[in-house]
Amino acid sequence: MCGIIGILSTTKKDVGLYIYDALTIIQHRGQDAAGITTANKGRFYMRKGNGLVRNVFRTKHMEKLIGDMGIGHIRYPTAGSSSEAEAQPFYVNSPYGIAFAHNGNLTNAETLAQEIFEQDLRHINTNSDSEILLNILASEIAEEQKHRINERDIFKAVTKLHQRVKGAYAAIGMIPGYGIFGFRDPNGIRPLILGERTTTEGTKYMLTSESVALTALGYKITRDVDPGETVVIDRKGQVHSHQCSDNSRLSPCIFEFVYFARPDSIIDNISVYKSRLRMGEKLAEKIKSQWPRDEIDVVMPVPDTSRTAALQLANELDIKYREGFIKNRYIARTFIMPGQKQRKKSVRQKLSAIELEFKDKNVLLVDDSIVRGTTSKEIVQMARAAGAKKVFFASAAPPVRYPNVYGIDMASKNEFIAHEKTTDEVCKVIGADKLIYQNLDDLIWSVQQGNPNIKSFDCSCFDGNYLTNDIDKPYLDNLEAIRSDKAKETNMTNESSELIYNDAD
């Protein structure tokens, strides 16, 4: 999972500063690398590197990122590669010059890489599937062999791209002297939203992964980009859109609502915050039906994502809600740490317990999900060390038992704590006295209530149903071989591997 930004201004040449601000707002979507590319008078200006946004860009860099349009990217790698070469945006010189940023994962990347070399006569310089996607697009645009491009050429190229590419992708591109554009995969798995900000000086348009980047910078939300749709914004500020897929169906990733997105975001007309409130409500109903009410003394969230669900759960159960853990906000999100050892080490660095809230109490800890169980096990131990009599654990999401192939770091089923285990067995492994999971139907209901027009979601990590219908056992075995924690640790010390890693770019 990554974050993408594209801004076009009809007057000012200061978009680099706004892209920087927007990237800091969606920094939660990736902390491995950041990059900005702007365009001015037909030229690209680029800065990218490993690290947080605030560390990659200095004043001297921002002064050079001039232009009336630009795109930005923050990266979270699923393969554990932290090579600076993988940082985005990418660009190609021909045709026209195209800068490009991508969030998602291509499931046929290896086939496409071979096609690009043999049919399109193009060279791929990194292990990133984002570079593959860019070159597919560039190749299709080049077919027109025109000196000047227009929105119809982009629509036609993206239509052909959809026919060749499989997987999940939301992408933003920029052509100097012409404008910016964005498109979304036919299933709408990855989010993309359009907004604008009009002042006396002119209008700025933004395409981005989450609405919070718009609202925090004073933009008005226009609408979500539809699945399979392409939106083009030219330098005159004219917005063009076209449906480029005959088989589009909105099926957004449900894990965006569980964990990745900020609670103050709205994705596909669904409030992330309210969906998490409903998750807490449904989980409380399940607890009421299975556990004695007086068995729990206090409800505590595992900061930060579970806080909303935990608060609603406590209200529904009429039990005290307390903040028992204090979070060190200078530690990156442990879920997206590239290896098990690094994740385990960072849990104790990230959280500390307030002993007064635990001592001699039966504590119900609430987390958004349990994936590998690393954090859960450590937190249960911390609660016991702080004096808790009993430690119960609740997950606002169902058990994660299947690999995610669409851009989330859940590729190795053998590393999932719930793989081939019952709830009681998972409970024993994490050291809790009791464990309860959200039902999948209740999770879907919690999200779908925000937009009843959405009839399906990507729930593949919970139910093993893959929307693109191209995932088989050999694919999953290969994915596990290159994305397991062991493979990541090897990859981090050997960035020159010849394998193509389908990054969550």
The annotation status of 368 as a binding-site residue, yes or no, is yes
Q: How many CB atoms lie within 10 A of CB 236?
A: 8
Selected catalytic residue, list 2, 244, 253, 427: 2
Q: How many CB atoms lie within 10 A of CB 472?
A: 9
Helix axes 440-448, 272-290, angle to 10 degrees: 150
The annotation status of 305 as a binding-site residue, yes or no, is yes
With contact defined as beta carbons under 8 Å apart, do 334 and 374 qualify? Answer: yes
DSSP state of 259: I
| 3-state SS, residue 72 | strand
Between CA 129 and CA 405 the distance in angstroms is 13
Q: Which residues contact 14 (CB under 8 A, 6 or more apart)?
A: 66
Plot region of 87 (φ>0 → left; ψ -120 to 50 → alpha; else → beta): beta
What is the side-by-side order of every strand in the sheet holding 220-224?
Answer: 43-50, 33-40, 69-75, 3-9, 202-208, 193-199, 220-224
* Burial of 440 (C-beta count, 10 Å sphere; 0-12/13-18/19+): middle
The closest alpha carbon to 269, from 445, 454, 397, belongs to: 454
> What ranges make up the beta strands (E) of 185-268?
193-199, 202-208, 220-224, 229-234, 239-243, 266-267
The annotation status of 222 as a binding-site residue, yes or no, is no
Q: Which residues contact 207 (CB under 8 A, 6 or more apart)?
A: 4, 5, 6, 172, 180, 182, 192, 193, 194, 225, 231, 233
| 459 noted as active-site residue | no
Distances (CA, A) of 490 to 60, 82, 122, 410, 499: 35, 12, 29, 18, 13
End-to-end CA distance of the chain: 6
Q: What residue type is 161 in one-letter code?
A: L
Binding-site residue numbers for Mg(2+) are 305, 367-368
Binding-site residue numbers are 305, 367-368
Q: State the catalytic residues.
A: 2
